[in-house]
């Protein structure tokens, strides 16, 4: 562990885990207590333990409606009355219901729960769209009871949406409720309860760091409500926030009017507020495109158009393919349409439900504009590149980014300036690009007079392996050098990140919005002036100039990778203050270039429905997927048979010390418990996304690819995505269940047992071979090569970073420009000083990004890496033919071209 700083830790990863654990303990202890003889030593012991547990639970349940304080009071009374049987019964049922998520309304009906005294609540929450409304008001208990009564009278039995109210009496308690309780969908803030909570116990303190870091005690009473409203918009922007005040309309600031969905006056009717709450929920629930598609599919329609499959006509009447129809069901075909009429809309020029659906997505993801994409983020990336960069522009880009970016650069004719991620050699994984390197490259380009050509910085956030950039810091420092830089954050793996605060801070859209507001403020202007005045001679400013800076940020997300959407459903989110002025036309052209004129409507509908889901339950689902990842990490650590063969890689395995100012080195320590992550998420240069769990398997003697295919998939039907030479990557997502994590753990135990048996059965020679294999996977790891360089003939400007990828790519179209050379010959040739240059992309999978791009010099390190690779899939390379490289005549074409040109014979052989 890093010795620099002590990280705050706690016994559980989250309050949810603590809560379940305490209830589970209560169930066990009350059961024991119910068997104790009155007056026995055991009775006293268990009574004390149960009392302590009830105290603990009271400090947590005050933030929940169900089971909430009511059930804790009931249990306390039963304990006082020594009604141990009743106590044990309620504790057992409540625990089961909590574990089965009955309270959130997302579980299947729980028959037994309906028999309990909580049955009515259960029945309501499990049948309807149930949610909770947080009311912040300093009510006495009589008024609180009256409020509950009035609200329940306003509900009609036929209502689709039902809610309960939870009252909090201080601003801190209200904020804590929002962090703890994912059922809250609306907040009503009254003028003006106190700021400070008197209910915070040491037990919950570690879990409320994001609340405790604010101290609004000095804020005047009249401003507390609006300030809290702003904080809620920041932490849980999907919620509807209402303000009930006495402040006269004329005295309300514009920012207050903007913060709240509606503002009410005390004397106004509760019914109005109730109707507004329901309307707000209904609006979010609305899915314009999915609803239009559903409606369309129910209309009787005759098709005299393409698409025989539409309405299932060519399928259900067929003798030979009816099974296809039966498999998918009728609705799939009824909804299969290409019509842009009859209530439907066109993706290429949306004016109706698709336009509305995209606007709602934009609101949900915090962008200014959002575009749906039906061919995955591979296409989204090409659209953004084509829209923003022109031939001859320079793009700073991480070399290990997805291949769609490299192809996008070929198409656009921009010159890439490749950035190298730091290597994590021990595990054959690339990390991410250090900020210092980005700044250095920019300064080199500035010195060479090329800064005006630099257009875009393109980074992958988070990386496949889960390394997350400090997005705000990167943008801030880059904008100080290049104030109009366009940022493309490839968030293919990060669509879920916008729905829980720690992650959200590191998304493109949140950061763009935050920086935009910051640079608009007078406070920043003053800060900038002071900064500039304090600079020494020749020193570069590290803050952007507020008069020059423009916020231009694009994020591309594979919604289908981490949220609910059919495959290929992706989105482009835009926060670009120059969009209208500079980019709208080119963006639409690029969108037309890459978008099918027959987009799949089912996929678009799934993007619409996925948006509804994240707005209602994104927070809860993302938190749960993190928790499951944490539980799995701890399980592998704490189970000796598992840790004998497998290590879950920690933060410090992935991120060098120098990038972790918080000192966070791991999520979980068997001795100290769970480290709190708030500080690391906020400040560290890189953070590791806990839902990406990399398991080091070197000690098994099995390589990543074999482990993935022969063990996990073939034997146990467990699908994973990425491997390296000695690691496999598991991801949890919003669809991961407790039982799937339990299954994975069980299978790993099974594999470890098999390995034990296998190693025990080996004879001496076999053992030596097995040990050598383990040694090779754990210790003899090949170094990871950096991007070498573009050959001088492919440099945009001699001696300055930026390569002409497009020219190299098209020169390779002509077979006579290329030759093949075996890897071994390659090695010898490089050693003898020959300069060889790749003519095509070479993409081994894994890692899945080009280790050679057209025009790149083949270095000794790259050859060694390729020779050491033991993967079966290398795109762009055929072992039987060898590496495809440019002939010397191509590399000398400029010299030859000039000389030949003088003789009037230029451009004869070499084609671009």
Applying CB under 6 A, which residues contact ligand PLP?
Answer: 376-378, 402, 404, 460, 464, 490, 492, 558, 570
Strand, coil or helix: 458: strand
In the bound complex, what is the minimum distance in angstroms from residue 367's beta carbon to ligand PLP?
A: 18
Contact 675, 7 (CB under 8 A): yes
Q: Between 228 and 404, name the residue whose CB sits nearer to ligand PLP.
A: 404
By Cβ distance, which residue is nearest to ligand PLP? 376
Contact 147, 165 (CB under 8 A): yes
Residues 6+ apart with CB under 8 A from 665: 1, 2, 7, 650, 651, 652
In the bound complex, what is the minimum distance in angstroms from residue 848's beta carbon to ligand PLP?
A: 7
Write out the H or E segment, with its range, that includes residue 857: none
Q: Between 663 and 846, name the residue whose CB sits nearer to ligand PLP.
A: 846
Q: Between 61 and 400, name the residue whose CB sits nearer to ligand PLP.
A: 400
In the bound complex, what is the minimum distance in angstroms from residue 378's beta carbon to ligand PLP?
A: 3
| Residue 460 preceded by cis peptide, ω within 30 | no
Identify the sign of the CA torsion 444, 447, 448, 454: positive
DSSP for 205-242, written as a single string: GGGGHHHHT---TTS-HHHHHHHHHHHHHHH-TTSEEE
In the bound complex, what is the minimum distance in angstroms from residue 405's beta carbon to ligand PLP?
A: 8
In the bound complex, what is the minimum distance in angstroms from residue 721's beta carbon to ligand PLP?
A: 8
The rounded distance, in Å, linking the Cα atoms of 601 and 610 is 14
In the bound complex, what is the minimum distance in angstroms from residue 373's beta carbon to ligand PLP?
A: 8
Instruction: Count CB-CB contacts under 10 A for residue 468.
Output: 25
Q: Between 10 and 467, name the residue whose CB sits nearer to ligand PLP.
A: 467
Write out the H or E segment, with its range, that includes residue 851: none
Q: Between 402 and 455, name the residue whose CB sits nearer to ligand PLP.
A: 402
Q: Between 465 and 666, name the residue whose CB sits nearer to ligand PLP.
A: 465
In the bound complex, what is the minimum distance in angstroms from residue 555's beta carbon to ligand PLP?
A: 11
Question: Looking at residue 251, what DSSP letter applies?
Answer: G
Residues 6+ apart with CB under 8 A from 760: none
Q: Between 236 and 405, name the residue whose CB sits nearer to ligand PLP.
A: 405
Question: Looking at residue 495, what DSSP letter applies?
Answer: G
Q: Which long-range contacts (CB under 8 A, 24 or more apart) does 297-301 make?
A: 297/331, 297/334, 297/335, 297/337, 298/334, 299/342, 301/339, 301/342
Q: How far lies 872's CA from each of 705, 725, 877, 879, in Å? A: 9, 12, 11, 10
| Residue 887, Ramachandran bin (φ over 0: left; ψ between -120 and 50: alpha; else beta) | beta
The torsion of the CA quartet 446, 808, 431, 516, rounded to 10 degrees, works out to 50
Q: Between 502 and 570, name the residue whose CB sits nearer to ligand PLP.
A: 570
Relative to beta strand 129-136, strand 161-168 is parallel
In the bound complex, what is the minimum distance in angstroms from residue 258's beta carbon to ligand PLP?
A: 35
Q: Between 480 and 563, name the residue whose CB sits nearer to ligand PLP.
A: 563
In the bound complex, what is the minimum distance in angstroms from residue 521's beta carbon to ligand PLP?
A: 34
Contact 710, 688 (CB under 8 A): no
Q: Which of 791, 863, 788 is nearest to 822 (CA)?
A: 863
Q: Between 116 and 358, name the residue whose CB sits nearer to ligand PLP.
A: 358
Q: Between 500 and 558, name the residue whose CB sits nearer to ligand PLP.
A: 558
In the bound complex, what is the minimum distance in angstroms from residue 408's beta carbon to ligand PLP?
A: 11
Q: Between 611 and 635, name the residue whose CB sits nearer to ligand PLP.
A: 611
DSSP for 383-396, written as a single string: HHHHHH--TT-EEE
In the bound complex, what is the minimum distance in angstroms from residue 586's beta carbon to ligand PLP?
A: 21
Q: Between 292 and 433, name the residue whose CB sits nearer to ligand PLP.
A: 433
For residue 10, what are the β-bridge partners? 674
In the bound complex, what is the minimum distance in angstroms from residue 782's beta carbon to ligand PLP?
A: 23
Q: Between 211 and 603, name the residue whose CB sits nearer to ligand PLP.
A: 603
Side-chain-side CA neighbours of 601 within 13 Å: the count stands at 29
Q: Between 546 and 846, name the residue whose CB sits nearer to ligand PLP.
A: 846
In the bound complex, what is the minimum distance in angstroms from residue 495's beta carbon to ligand PLP?
A: 10
Contact 210, 179 (CB under 8 A): yes
Q: Between 590 and 702, name the residue whose CB sits nearer to ligand PLP.
A: 590
In the bound complex, what is the minimum distance in angstroms from residue 594's beta carbon to ligand PLP?
A: 12
The rounded distance, in Å, linking the Cα atoms of 834 and 69 is 77
Residues 6+ apart with CB under 8 A from 127: 105, 109
In the bound complex, what is the minimum distance in angstroms from residue 599's beta carbon to ligand PLP?
A: 15
In the bound complex, what is the minimum distance in angstroms from residue 868's beta carbon to ligand PLP?
A: 24
The rounded distance, in Å, linking the Cα atoms of 605 and 288 is 9
Contact 461, 491 (CB under 8 A): yes
How much of the chain is in helix, strand and coil states, percent to nearest 5? 50, 15, 35
Q: How far apart are the first and last CA of the chain?
A: 54
In degrees, to the nearest 5, what angle opens at C-alpha 662 toward C-alphas 656 and 664? 65
Side-chain-side CA neighbours of 746 within 13 Å: the count stands at 8
In the bound complex, what is the minimum distance in angstroms from residue 461's beta carbon to ligand PLP?
A: 9
In the bound complex, what is the minimum distance in angstroms from residue 652's beta carbon to ligand PLP?
A: 24
The rounded distance, in Å, linking the Cα atoms of 688 and 465 is 8
Q: Between 190 and 573, name the residue whose CB sits nearer to ligand PLP.
A: 573
Q: Between 19 and 402, name the residue whose CB sits nearer to ligand PLP.
A: 402
Strand, coil or helix: 510: helix
């Amino acid at each position: 562990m890093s010795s620099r700083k002590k990280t705050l830790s706690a016994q559980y990863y989250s309050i949810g885990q603590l809560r379940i654990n305490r209830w589970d303990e209560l169930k066990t202890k009350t059961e024991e207590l119910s068997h104790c003889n009155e007056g026995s030593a055991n009775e006293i012991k268990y009574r004390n333990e149960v009392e302590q547990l009830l105290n603990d639970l009271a400090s947590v349940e005050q933030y929940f409606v169900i089971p909430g304080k009511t059930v804790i009071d009931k249990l306390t009374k039963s304990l006082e009355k020594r009604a141990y049987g009743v106590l044990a019964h309620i504790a057992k049922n409540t625990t089961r219901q909590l574990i089965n998520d009955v309270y959130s309304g997302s579980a299947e009906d729980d028959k037994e729960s309906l028999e309990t005294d909580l049955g009515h609540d259960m029945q309501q929450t499990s049948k309807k769209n149930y949610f909770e409304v947080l009311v912040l008001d300093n009510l006495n208990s009589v008024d609180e009871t009256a409020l509950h009564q009035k609200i329940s009278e306003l509900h009609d039995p036929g209502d689709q949406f039902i809610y309960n109210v939870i009252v909090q009496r201080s601003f801190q308690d209200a904020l804590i409720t929002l962090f703890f309780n994912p059922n809250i969908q609306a907040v009503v803030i009254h003028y003006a309860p106190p700021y400070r909570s008197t209910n915070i116990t040491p037990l919950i303190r570690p879990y409320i760091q994001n609340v405790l870091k604010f101290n609004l005690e000095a804020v005047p009473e009249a401003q507390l409500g609006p300030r809290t409203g702003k904080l809620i918009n920041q932490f849980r922007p999907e919620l509807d926030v209402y303000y009930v005040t006495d402040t006269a309309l004329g005295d309300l600031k514009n920012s207050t009017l903007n913060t709240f969905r509606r503002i009410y006056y005390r004397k106004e009717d509760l019914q109005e507020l109730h109707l507004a709450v329901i309307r707000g929920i209904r609006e979010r629930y609305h899915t314009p495109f999915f609803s239009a598609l559903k409606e369309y599919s129910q209309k009787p329609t005759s098709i005299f158009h393409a698409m025989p499959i539409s309405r299932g006509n060519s399928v259900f009447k067929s003798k030979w393919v009816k099974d296809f129809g039966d498999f998918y069901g009728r609705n799939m075909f009824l909804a299969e349409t290409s019509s842009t009429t009859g209530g439907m809309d066109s993706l290429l020029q949306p004016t109706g439900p698709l336009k509305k659906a995209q606007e709602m997505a934009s609101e949900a993801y915090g962008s200014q504009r959002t575009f749906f994409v039906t061919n995955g983020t591979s296409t989204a990336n090409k659209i953004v590149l084509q829209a923003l960069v022109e031939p001859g522009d320079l793009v700073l880009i991480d070399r290990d980014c997805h291949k769609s970016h490299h192809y996008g650069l070929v198409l656009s004719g921009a010159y890439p300036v490749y950035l190298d991620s730091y290597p994590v050699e021990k595990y054959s994984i690339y990390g991410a690009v250090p900020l210092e390197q980005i700044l250095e490259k920019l300064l080199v380009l500035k010195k060479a007079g090329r800064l005006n050509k630099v257009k875009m910085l393109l980074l992958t956030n988070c990386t496949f392996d889960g390394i997350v950039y400090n997005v705000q810091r990167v943008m801030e420092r880059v904008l100080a050098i290049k104030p109009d830089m366009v940022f493309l954050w490839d968030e293919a793996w990060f669509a879920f990140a916008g729905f829980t605060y720690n992650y959200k801070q590191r998304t493109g859209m949140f950061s763009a919005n935050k920086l935009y507001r910051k640079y608009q403020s007078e406070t920043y202007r003053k800060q900038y002036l002071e900064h500039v005045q304090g600079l020494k001679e020749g020193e570069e400013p590290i803050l952007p100039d507020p008069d020059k800076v423009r916020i231009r940020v694009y994020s591309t997300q594979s919604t289908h990778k981490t949220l609910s959407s059919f495959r290929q459903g992706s989105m482009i989110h835009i926060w670009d203050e120059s969009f209208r002025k500079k980019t709208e036309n080119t963006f639409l052209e690029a969108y037309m270039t890459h978008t099918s004129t027959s987009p799949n409507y089912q996929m678009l509908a799934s993007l619409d429905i996925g948006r509804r889901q994240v707005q209602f339950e994104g927070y809860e689902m993302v938190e749960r997927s993190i928790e499951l990842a944490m539980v799995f990490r701890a399980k592998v650590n704490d189970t000796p048979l598992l840790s004998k063969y497998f290590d879950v890689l920690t933060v410090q395995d992935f991120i060098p010390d120098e990038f972790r100012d918080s000192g966070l080195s791991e999520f979980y320590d068997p001795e100290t418990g769970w480290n709190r992550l708030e500080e690391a998420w906020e400040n560290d240069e890189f953070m590791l996304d806990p839902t990406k769990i990399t398991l080091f398997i070197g000690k098994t003697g099995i390589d990543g690819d074999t482990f993935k295919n022969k063990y996990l998939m073939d034997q146990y039907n467990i699908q994973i995505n990425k491997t390296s030479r000695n690691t496999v990557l598991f991801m949890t997502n919003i669809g991961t269940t407790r039982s799937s994590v339990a299954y994975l753990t069980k299978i790993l135990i099974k594999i470890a047992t098999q390995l034990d048996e296998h190693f025990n059965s080996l004879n001496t020679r076999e053992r030596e071979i097995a040990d050598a294999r383990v040694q090779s996977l754990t210790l003899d790891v090949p170094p990871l090569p950096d991007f070498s360089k573009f050959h001088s003939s492919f440099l945009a400007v001699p001696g300055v970073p930026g390569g002409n990828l497009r020219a190299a790519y098209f020169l390779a179209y002509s077979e006579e420009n290329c030759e093949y050379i075996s890897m071994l010959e390659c090695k010898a040739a490089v050693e003898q000083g020959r300069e060889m240059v790749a003519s095509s992309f070479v993409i081994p999978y894994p890692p899945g990004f080009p280790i050679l791009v057209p025009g790149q010099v083949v270095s000794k390190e790259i050859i060694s890496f390729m020779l050491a690779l033991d993967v079966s899939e290398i795109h762009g390379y055929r072992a039987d033919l060898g590496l495809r490289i440019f002939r010397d005549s191509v590399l000398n074409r400029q010299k030859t071209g000039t000389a030949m040109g003088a003789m009037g014979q230029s451009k004869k052989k070499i084609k671009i």
